[in-house]
Every structure is written in C-alpha cells, then in structure tokens.
C-alpha cells in the first residue's frame, strides 16, 4: 500500500475506487466499507481500477474544537495505516486537516479532491456520511448529481451486531467502561495500545511483579482503570501479561495515571522499546490496599485468573 501525506504527492489514477472518512478504529462497519471498496477495484480491474482510502489528520474535532479536551481516539494514524493495509487498500491518502480545508464547500471538495486530485470513478461511503463546510454534502446530494460530478456513489448501510449499529462512539463508551470484550466484538479484532517503555518507580519488582511502564500517545484512548488480561507484543514475540491502569492509590493520593504491564516469563531489558498490548478481558477495577503485602496477595490471584483467561 502506498501512503501519501498531502495531495501534492498524489498522481490522479486511471480509475479510482474511493472511500473517505476519519475511520477511527477501523471497526466492523468500516471494514465492510473497505471490503466493498477493494472488491469494486477488483471487479473493474480491466479499467485499471485501484482502491483509495482518503482520510484526515489530525482528527477534525481536534482542529475545529480545540477547547474540547475529552476526545480520545481508537487508532493512531500509524495504526489506521496498518489496518487499512490488512484489508487490501492500495492507496492511503492523508489530507492535513485545517480550518481552511474545513471551510471548503462540498462542491469544492468534490471538484478539487475527488475529481481533480484522485480521478474518482466510484465513491463508497458509510451510512449518514457527511462532508464539506457545515457537513452539507451527503449521499443524497451525490446520488442526485452523479452525472454532473462524473462518478457514481454507493452507500453502505449501518452495520448491525446484536441489533445495535456499530460506531466509533459506542466502542469508545465500551472501553471507557472497561468492557473490552464488547469493544472487541464491535471491532472484530482485539483493541490494542502501543507505548514506549519508560522508567517507573520500580515498586513492582520489590513484591515480585516487575512491570514495564508505557508512555502512550496523548490522544489514544486508554480503557477504564483496573487490571486486564493482555497479550504483549515485544521484539516480534508474543507473551502473556497482566496490565494495570490506574493511579496507584495504595502508594498515595493524586498520583498520575500509569499504564504498566507485568510480562509473564520475561526478564529482558526493554527500556526505550515500543510494546503493544492486546486487550482480552478486564479482571477487576482499581483497588486501594492497606499494605504492599495485601496488594501482593491480590496480584498473585490476579495472575492466576489472567493465565486462565489467556489459556482459554
């Protein structure tokens, strides 16, 4: 897959099958859109058709509403690129999102980006997709003006799992409540967080549970505080692990939240390396213990439960 940072790097294609959007999470609904986009490119291969995912960075809300500090993303840009490649997308075009770009009318967006820059022949969009200034562009508008704009448009309906439409908002809510199993159900893959291993206070090693402290990108969504069973990807190997997310209430008050993982059967020095955690299940919430001995005893029970979960 080719990745382009801005329209200047992109050369119009002979026959572009395009989908566009923020694609945060690349969840089950997004995946259906990507699958259709890739399938259409294959169907029109005699026309030299190729698939394109058009997305925006940073996330539009971070630019348009900078005063809102609560937005957390399911995927970083690198993770989004990785997931798109897994679904067979051939071209990944990143539009630097700005207030000037947001001020474009829907017609300007169609002419400047979809037609002139990409040479779109078919556009595949999700249910209720909007674009252009004040989100004035819609499927209905595109469908009514297909002949004038020079390409066809296809809408993928809201995807249903257990009779609930999948959305990035619902996945965020599930993760914020610690329900990673429901989030994974919506995503159709295990939610993951990557981070740089940095030095912590090293209390864990004194009680037999050494941890790798992770520094995570600031806008990445971290699930609800507590203990989780996770798969740990490190140095191209996969290990079982027990993750703690919390503020170490046993050690004091008003401490910063940490993300730290106890990797089972592992003793390597990995400071400065990047580790990926795949969430499987939340075992319990944050607890404050009377002593480190009491915490150690609970962690031993948590480890047993983690091994049961991951072995299953």
Number of structural domains found in the chain: 2
Question: Which pLDDT does position 48 carry in this prediction?
Answer: 97
Same domain, yes or no, for 7 and 64? yes
Tally Cβ neighbours within 10 Å of residue 310.
17
Same domain, yes or no, for 137 and 273? no
Question: Which pLDDT does position 14 carry in this prediction?
Answer: 97
Q: How confident is the model at residue 195 (pLDDT cuts 50, 70, 90)?
A: very high
Question: Which pLDDT does position 288 carry in this prediction?
Answer: 84
Q: Which domain holds residue 94?
A: 2-165
Question: Which pLDDT does position 136 carry in this prediction?
Answer: 65
Question: Which pLDDT does position 289 carry in this prediction?
Answer: 86
The CATH number covering residue 116 comes to 3.40.50.620
Question: Which pLDDT does position 126 carry in this prediction?
Answer: 84
More confident residue, 265 or 208: 265
Last residue within a domain, chosen from 165, 200, 215: 165
Same domain, yes or no, for 137 and 269? no
Give a three-class secondary structure readout of 252-297. CCCCCCEEEEEECCCCCCCCCCEEEEEEEEEEECCCCCCCHHHHHH
Summarised one tens digit per residue, pLDDT across range 150-182 is: 899 998 887 776 777 889 999 999 999 999 999
Summarised one tens digit per residue, pLDDT across range 231-285 is: 999 999 999 999 999 987 667 666 788 999 999 999 888 999 999 999 999 999 9
Same domain, yes or no, for 73 and 152? yes
Same domain, yes or no, for 198 and 153? no
Question: Which pLDDT does position 165 carry in this prediction?
Answer: 85
pTM of structure: 0.89
The backbone torsions φ and ψ at residue 290, rounded to the nearest 5 degrees and listed phi first, read: -70, -25
Same domain, yes or no, for 16 and 112? yes
More confident residue, 278 or 61: 278
What percent of the chain is predicted at pLDDT more than 70? 94
Q: Is residue 175, in this structure, part of any structural domain at all?
A: no
Q: Is residue 170, in this structure, part of any structural domain at all?
A: no
Same domain, yes or no, for 160 and 195? no
CB burial of residue 230 (10 Å; 0-12, 13-18, 19+) = buried
Q: How confident is the model at residue 68 (pLDDT cuts 50, 70, 90)?
A: confident
Rounded distance between C-alpha atoms, residue 235 and residue 237, angstroms = 5
Summarised one tens digit per residue, pLDDT across range 118-141 is: 999 999 988 777 676 666 667 777
Last residue within a domain, chosen from 130, 165, 200: 165
Last residue within a domain, chosen from 149, 165, 181: 165
Sort strands 237-246 and 160-161 into parallel, antiparallel or unpaired: unpaired
The torsion region of residue 163 among left (phi > 0), alpha (psi -120 to 50) and beta comes to: left
The CATH number covering residue 210 comes to 2.40.30.30
Same domain, yes or no, for 288 and 231? yes
Same domain, yes or no, for 267 and 150? no
Q: How confident is the model at residue 28 (pLDDT cuts 50, 70, 90)?
A: very high
Summarised one tens digit per residue, pLDDT across range 285-309 is: 988 888 888 888 999 999 999 999 9
Question: Which pLDDT does position 175 carry in this prediction?
Answer: 98
Total residue length of the chain: 312
Q: What is the mean pLDDT of the chain?
A: 90
Same domain, yes or no, for 151 and 224? no
């Amino acid at each position: 897959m080719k990745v382009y940072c801005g329209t200047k790097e992109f050369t119009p294609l002979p026959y572009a099958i395009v989908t566009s959007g923020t694609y945060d999470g690349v969840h089950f609904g997004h995946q259906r859109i990507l699958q259709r986009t890739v399938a259409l490119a294959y169907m029109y291969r005699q026309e030299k058709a190729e698939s394109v995912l058009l997305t925006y960075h940073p996330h539009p809300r971070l630019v348009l509403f900078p005063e809102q500090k609560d937005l957390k993303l399911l995927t970083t840009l690198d993770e989004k690129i990785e997931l798109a490649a897994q679904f067979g997308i051939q071209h990944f075009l990143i539009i630097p999102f700005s207030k000037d770009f947001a001020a474009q009318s829907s017609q300007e967006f169609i002419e400047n980006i979809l037609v002139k820059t990409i040479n779109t022949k078919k556009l595949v969009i999700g249910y209720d997709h909007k674009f252009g200034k004040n989100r004035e562009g819609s499927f209905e508008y595109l469908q009514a003006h297909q002949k004038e704009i020079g390409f066809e448009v296809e809408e993928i309906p809201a995807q249903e799992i257990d009779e609930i439409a999948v959305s990035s908002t619902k996945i965020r809510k599930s993760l914020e409540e610690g329900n990673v199993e429901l989030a994974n159900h919506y995503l159709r893959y295990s939610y993951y967080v990557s981070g740089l291993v940095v030095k912590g206070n090293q209390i864990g090693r004194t009680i037999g549970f050494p941890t790798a402290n992770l520094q995570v990108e600031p806008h990445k969504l971290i699930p609800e505080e507590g203990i989780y069973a996770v798969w740990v990807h490190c140095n191209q190997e996969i290990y079982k692990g027990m993750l703690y997310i919390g503020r170490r209430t046993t050690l004091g008050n008003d401490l910063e939240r940490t993300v730290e993982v106890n990797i089972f059967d592992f003793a390597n020095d990995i400071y400065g390396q990047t580790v990926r955690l795949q969430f499987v299940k939340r075992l319990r919430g944050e607890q404050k213990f009377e002593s480190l001995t009491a915490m150690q005893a609970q962690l031993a029970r948590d480890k047993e439960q983690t091994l049961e979960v991951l072995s299953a």
